[in-house]
Structure 1
Amino acid sequence: MDAGISSSSEKVRSRLRRRPLQEVAVSKPYLPSMRSTTSFVRGSSSRKNQNFDRFIPDRSAMDFDRAHSLLTESRKEKENAAASSPSKEAYRKHLAEALLQNRTRILAFKSKPPALVESVFQEVFSDSTSSHQSKSAKHQRYIPQSAEKTLDAPDLVDDYYLNLLDWGSSNLLSIALGNTVYLWNATNCSTSELTTVEEDYGPVTSVSWASDGRHIAIGLNSSAVQLWDTSSNRLLRTLRGVHQSRVGSLAWNNNILTTGGMDGMIVNNDVRVRSHIVQTYRGHQQEVCGLRWSGSGQQLASGGNDNLLLIWDRSMASSNFTPNQNQWLHRFDDHMAAVKALAWCPFQSNLLASGGGGSDRCIKFWNTHTGACLNSVDTGSQVCSLLWNKNERELLSSHGFTQNQLTLWKYPSMVKITELTGHTSRVLFMAQSPDGCTVASAAGDETLRFWHVFGSPETLKFAAKAAHAGPFSSFSHIR
């Protein structure tokens, strides 16, 4: 089992009026600028109460005679302005040009860099250098270490097993705060309230956008599931009788809404028909906290508080309620804690990444066709969520104790590219923008942060244009 609701969330909070999803000012540390001709040192230990920094010039790069001349030149001009004649002024300027050689910098290199030696291989060298630089620039893309934006998220339920954040294809981000579901428009940064459920039905335990970016499913603590049309802010229907307790996980597959509950049940609901329960999956003995359909829509991955990861084939689902009937394709029990974090690879359809809770701390990779575990990496902390980069072979993970960080990994080497810090509590939820560049993270510290971790849209457009450019790019392709 993994820690569910944090003890800090059970404390009585002050009821100061807070406006949800309003930007929070985050102070950034002072970073002094560094110059090549100066060295940076800390103040002496004898000045403990004066924690200041000072710059010491590099004396080897200074011309003291010239510096003295330039510093005293203006003063001498004022003193001798009355006594100087035009001939003396012309002589002084001519002498300054001859001695100082019209230099304007005090700090300068002692010798010029060597000139480039031309050879018959210069063109080849230039081509190889530019190729190397382009590869290095691609590998060393700039990743901001601080969040681009931080929003206030009061009453966010600090529960590991829930799924309270999702980003739809219409660029609307949904987040559940207590009994209320809010929509944040990433295009114009506006906020709207979709619905607030009654105390007897709340809190909201899961949210999930349909692929059209217009309809959204909301799971409730009362075991019901609501379907909303966000374009008209209208409740379309409420699915009842699907589960016996709270619905903590949701996943869409076209018109099929898959729900996972604390009762261990997984149910396929066809939202187009009155009798919406069409298929069931039985295999988990405890709460289902992770659900993800593969890109093809043929395989479903489910993770539970029973430390199990199950792979289901859609054609093997049961359409009846026969007790103890198991239809899984693969059953993995390698994780030593709850399995909530699940992510299907966008560039390899049969590759699945899964993350374990606090007693496991591992990210594992699976071939869902053969059932083989390809790799396992101990991250050192609770794995709360996983997201693949849609444009590079990278994986982003969010964590709990002790650093509450986001970690970007290079796949398949699983070398750490960078770690993003700022949250002061476990980063329970992550969602990716439709363009694949920005990641939103929500944590138990009741903040929602946005990170430009996967690049920028301008960079992606340029890369896509370059990728399609080729010797035959202007000709039609024969299929």
Structure 2
Amino acid sequence: MDGPIQNGPMMRWQRKAQESGASATSPSKSRCKTPGKSGTVPGGATSKTPKTPSCKSPARSSLDDKAANGSRSGKKTKTPGAKTPGMHQDRFIPSRATSDMEYGHFAVTKKMDDEEENMPADENVNSQEYRHQLMEAMEMKDRKILNFKGKAPEASRPAMNSLNVLYSCNKSTSKQSATSRHIPRAPDRVLDAPQLLDDYYLNLLDWSQNNILSVVLGTAVFLWNADTGNITQLMELTNTQDYVSSVSSVPESTALAVGLSNGNVQLWDTEQQKLLRTMSGHPARVGSLSWNTHILSSGSRTGAIHHHDVRVAQHQVAELIHHNQEVCGLSWAPDGRHLASGGNDNLVNVWGNQIGPQQPLYTFSDHQAAVKAIAWCPWKPHLLATGGGTADRHIRMWNVQSGTNLGAYDSESQVCSILWSKEYKELISGHGYALNHIRIWKYPTMTKVVDLVGHSARVLSMAMSPDGTTVASAAADETIRLWKCFATNPQTKKPSQSASESTKSKGYNMCIR
């Protein structure tokens, strides 16, 4: 196995040796990477080359001698990178010293200098200026892009403008936040009101100036004292076929007007719980009542409105006929100059305060449903707000001096009642189908402030406490909820004791009867 191959192709080194004219030797006699050991000298004599100190790395002098011998004999010699038989074939990589890079840079710059010397004077000047500017731009002193040691240069005075006000603090913001109030989303109290009639056209809730809340439950009227929490029954009808259809208290008095389903109007003293008188005249139920000092106005299902002077025996002093269906909303202006009436005929009439037969000053027919919600603005006596039923769902503002419509606002639900705030320029509305909630509006933008959700059925009637901080809402779910939504601003006015504060110790679920 160790012997040479007898039959077969010649080895590559043997073929190379034949081509170069050298004698073939066996691989066992030549195992070094150096080229052939014999060389031809002038005169035809052959001389053996001395062995190199190492077969792996031949000396540089021996390589130079063989190259010289090859050049004298005219024969080709192997380069240091030539492959030799029996060894691994590696390529030769010359070492590049750093001096080569420096020499290349020197050659390039010298060439550029030679070109500048040969070019015309004008072009040479331009090139020198360009190189000078380039050198200045590439200086590394204080012109680094990311230089964290030095401070940023200050902006010049013309660069300063008035946009720096965007970063200043606005003092009005702190004042605004200080005057903002918190509106509780939950009711302050919940009162039980069984047998509360679910009738859109009736007005069954009233809050007097003496802090007495009057509630109609079926055939009886109950009084809830918000100061003490006591509950008393004022009256009850003996005829089970009749029922109480409306209540309204006299301002700054203990008298309470009660409208009945048989068309009569009774006048009661709430302090003594005594019936003062009964006034007849309507052939059908009295669904709405409103006071103007000693004049009591009552609206009937027939569409007629009667003025009663409670001081005289002949109480009926005027009859207003313009509605052709039931009058479900009735309210006198705070200054007593105008009376607004809303009916099931979708009309809103504004009347004067004259005694005797008369025609309405203005008739508004913009609503598309019955108008029960009517309220006068306390700080603008000529401003009237009205709300329509399910088919209309709009709150409309009217100027009764000019008879113009100031705007219509969609409430997304049936409007059952409207009240104006005495402390803030806001109004609150109670709604029925289909949201059954209470909404506070900001005037005059009429943007929603908050929705008070708690009732599970439509809100039929609302009344405000004498101090204007609390709103009572009576709904078809047979509950009365007290919402403390207009708390007095402590910075401008010292709050008085409200109904809810005086009865905190009484518990939340109290039954009226």
In 1: Cα distance, 2:383 partner to 2:369 partner: 21
Q: Which residue of 2 aligns with 1:354?
A: 386
- Are the aligned partners of 1:437 and 1:457 in contact in 2 as well (CA < 8 Å)? no
How far did 1:463 drift? 8.7
Alpha-carbon spacing, 1:423–1:278, altered in 2? closer, same or farther (3 Å): same
Q: Deviations over 1:31-56 (max 9, x none)?
A: xxxxxxxxxxxxxxxxxxxxxxxxxx
How far did 1:131 drift? 4.4
TM-score, normalization by structure 1: 0.67
Residues 1:259 and 2:291 aligned together: no
Residues 1:220 and 2:220 aligned together: no
In 2: Cα distance, 1:346 partner to 1:373 partner: 19
Q: Which residue of 2 aligns with 1:367?
A: 399
In 2: Cα distance, 1:409 partner to 1:459 partner: 22
In 1: Cα distance, 2:173 partner to 2:478 partner: 44
Q: 2:184 aligns with which of 144, 157, 182?
A: 144
In 2: Cα distance, 1:350 partner to 1:402 partner: 31
Residue identity matched to 1:293 = W
In 2: Cα distance, 1:398 partner to 1:171 partner: 21
Q: Which residue of 2 aligns with 1:133?
A: 174
In 1: Cα distance, 2:216 partner to 2:352 partner: 31
Q: Deviations over 1:391-421 (max 9, x none)?
A: 1110101101122000001011111000000
Residue identity matched to 2:294 = N
Structural mapping, 1:55-74, within 5 Å: none
In 2: Cα distance, 1:312 partner to 1:408 partner: 28
Q: Secondary structure at the match of 2:328?
A: strand
In 1: Cα distance, 2:240 partner to 2:440 partner: 40
- Are the aligned partners of 1:201 and 1:220 in contact in 2 as well (CA < 8 Å)? no
Residue identity matched to 2:365 = D
Alpha-carbon spacing, 1:284–1:460, altered in 2? closer, same or farther (3 Å): farther
Q: 1:420 aligns with which of 452, 456, 460?
A: 452
Residue identity matched to 1:436 = G
Structural mapping, 1:39-438, within 5 Å: 131-138=172-179, 140-199=180-239, 202-240=242-280, 242-315=281-354, 317-319=355-357, 327-438=359-470
In 2: Cα distance, 1:333 partner to 1:285 partner: 13
Q: Secondary structure at the match of 1:219?
A: strand
Q: Percent identity?
A: 49
Alpha-carbon spacing, 1:177–1:463, altered in 2? closer, same or farther (3 Å): closer
Q: Deviations over 1:253-303 (max 9, x none)?
A: 000110000011101000010000001111000000000000110100000
- Are the aligned partners of 2:204 and 2:215 in contact in 1 as well (CA < 8 Å)? yes
Q: Deviations over 1:186-216 (max 9, x none)?
A: 1111111101112256210000000123000
- Are the aligned partners of 1:200 and 1:222 in contact in 2 as well (CA < 8 Å)? no
How far did 1:458 drift? 5.1
Residue identity matched to 1:230 = T
In 2: Cα distance, 1:295 partner to 1:398 partner: 21
Residue identity matched to 2:459 = V
Q: Secondary structure at the match of 1:461?
A: coil
- Are the aligned partners of 1:435 and 1:457 in contact in 2 as well (CA < 8 Å)? no
Structure 1: which 5+ residue stretches go unaligned? 1-127, 320-325, 465-479
Alpha-carbon spacing, 1:211–1:179, altered in 2? closer, same or farther (3 Å): same
In 1: Cα distance, 2:317 partner to 2:457 partner: 39
Q: Deviations over 1:4-25 (max 9, x none)?
A: xxxxxxxxxxxxxxxxxxxxxx
- Are the aligned partners of 1:400 and 1:428 in contact in 2 as well (CA < 8 Å)? yes
Q: Secondary structure at the match of 1:137?
A: helix
In 1: Cα distance, 2:215 partner to 2:457 partner: 17
In 1: Cα distance, 2:177 partner to 2:489 partner: 20
How far did 1:456 drift? 3.9
Q: Deviations over 1:300-338 (max 9, x none)?
A: 0000000000000112x535xxxxxx5100011100000
In 2: Cα distance, 1:158 partner to 1:304 partner: 18
In 1: Cα distance, 2:208 partner to 2:286 partner: 20
In 1: Cα distance, 2:494 partner to 2:207 partner: 25
TM-score, normalization by structure 2: 0.62
How far did 1:130 drift? 5.6
- Are the aligned partners of 2:489 and 2:495 in contact in 1 as well (CA < 8 Å)? no
In 2: Cα distance, 1:412 partner to 1:239 partner: 41
In 1: Cα distance, 2:253 partner to 2:313 partner: 23
Q: Deviations over 1:84-132 (max 9, x none)?
A: xxxxxxxxxxxxxxxxxxxxxxxxxxxxxxxxxxxxxxxxxxxx86643
In 2: Cα distance, 1:405 partner to 1:222 partner: 32
Q: Secondary structure at the match of 2:361?
A: strand
Q: Deviations over 1:129-163 (max 9, x none)?
A: 6643222232x310000001001000000000000
